[in-house]
Structure 1
Amino acid sequence: MDIQSALEQLRPNHLPAPVSIWPLAPGWWIVGGLSLVIIMLAMRFILSRWHKRRYRRRALSTLRKVVKAYEANGNKRQFAHDCNRLLKKVALQAYPRQNIASLNGDQWLVFLSQSSENPQFSDSAAAALGSDRFKPDHELNVDQLHTLTLSWIKKHHA
């Protein structure tokens, strides 16, 4: 027998079966489980935060309606009353009722300033949220009042 005929009699090479991905090694099960727990905790945190801030989103929507109403009728005093009512409503949702419900005038302005760390609540535009809005000679600055209301809704610390 020659070498050529001996080689022809050999069977072809058989490759082993490909390595399967299943079953996973225990380490991968641990990584998968931890990933799932982390995702669930992150979703719980995000949903909780989203629910806690729902009142802010509603307040911003109401503020847009108040601005549209002002643009339609041009009544500055009504705008100041509406902004004050909206801020009080938001404050009652964010803070304990017994601390907020009785505030008015300068106490109300101090609370708004402290809760948002915004010193502009001592300016003349913010005075329209206090008792000055009832004075007939008080001139209201609608743009500043809108800006103050918007910033307090977004930035107050509840």
Structure 2
Amino acid sequence: MSAENPLANLKDIHLPPTVSWWPPALGWWILAVLFILLIVLCAWWLHQRYERGRPRIEALRILKDLQEKHDKSPVALTTLRTLSQLLRRTALSFYQQEEVASLQGEEWLKFLDKTGQTTEFTLGAGKIFGKNLYQPEPDFDIEVLFPLVSKWVKECPYQS
């Protein structure tokens, strides 16, 4: 019997080359593309949401400026007509032109009530925005109309 160690005849293990981090596997590429696509879709959605809210923000800013201007020099009739124009322009930006542009008088007031979920335009202080708007001396309280218009602009649902 030979006293030689049989393990001594074994050769060293050859290690494979170390795994590089680049290029990544196919799964990582797919994940990166999906992540970039998700970011682009989120940015597009946020932009659309911002653009949709711009008319409302602009109308509220104009209303605030109008109220400040009225507080400095109260010319109620001019302010009333400007409020009416603001309502009309805001409605045209929220709804189809064919649906809003031709409305006048009682139909216009009913539209404002329906879209603003209120009855203040047909039964309350907002009646002035109907036929009485262009009378020489209409009877109205302008201080009641500012919150009414503001509420309508804030609560009016957007449709286009």
Same fold by TM-score greater than 0.5: yes
- 2:89 aligned with 1:86: no
1:139 corresponds to which letter in structure 2? F
CA distance in 1, matches of 2:81, 2:32: 55
The worse-fitting range, judged by mean Cα deviation, of 118-127 and 63-72 is 118-127
**1:119 aligns to what SS in structure 2?**
coil
The C-alpha deviation readout for 1:76-121, integer Å capped at 9, x for no partner, is 2222211111011111222222322222222111101112223333
TM-score (norm 1): 0.75
TM-score (norm 2): 0.74
2:116 corresponds to which letter in structure 1? S
Summarize the alignment of residues 137-148 of structure 1 with structure 2, pairs less than 5 Å apart: 138-142=139-143, 144-148=144-148
Paired position in structure 1 for 2:8 = none
Tell me the number of residue pairs that the alignment of Structure 1 and Structure 2 aligns.
Answer: 142
Summarize the alignment of residues 59-98 of structure 1 with structure 2, pairs less than 5 Å apart: 59-98=59-98
Q: Is there any run of 5+ residues in structure 2 with no aligned partner, and where?
A: 1-15
Paired position in structure 2 for 1:11 = none
Shift of the 137–37 alpha-carbon distance from structure 1 to 2, 3 Å rule, reads closer
Paired position in structure 2 for 1:130 = 130
- Contact 1:109 1:122 (8 Å CA) reproduced: yes
The structure that is helix-richer by fraction is: 1
- Contact 1:116 1:155 (8 Å CA) reproduced: yes
The C-alpha deviation readout for 1:1-38, integer Å capped at 9, x for no partner, is xxxxxxxxxxxxxxx99865333232222221111111
Shift of the 121–17 alpha-carbon distance from structure 1 to 2, 3 Å rule, reads farther
- Contact 2:113 2:119 (8 Å CA) reproduced: yes
CA distance in 2, matches of 1:89, 1:139: 22
Shift of the 79–137 alpha-carbon distance from structure 1 to 2, 3 Å rule, reads closer
Q: Is there any run of 5+ residues in structure 1 with no aligned partner, and where?
A: 1-15
1:43 corresponds to which letter in structure 2? A
The worse-fitting range, judged by mean Cα deviation, of 83-92 and 17-26 is 17-26
The C-alpha deviation readout for 1:63-83, integer Å capped at 9, x for no partner, is 122112211111222222111
1:24 corresponds to which letter in structure 2? P
- The two structures, once aligned, show a CA RMSD in angstroms of 2.5
- Contact 1:126 1:148 (8 Å CA) reproduced: yes
Percentage of matched positions with identical amino acids: 27
CA distance in 2, matches of 1:27, 1:98: 51
CA distance in 2, matches of 1:55, 1:86: 11
- Alpha-carbon deviation of 1:156? 1.6
- 2:122 aligned with 1:118: no
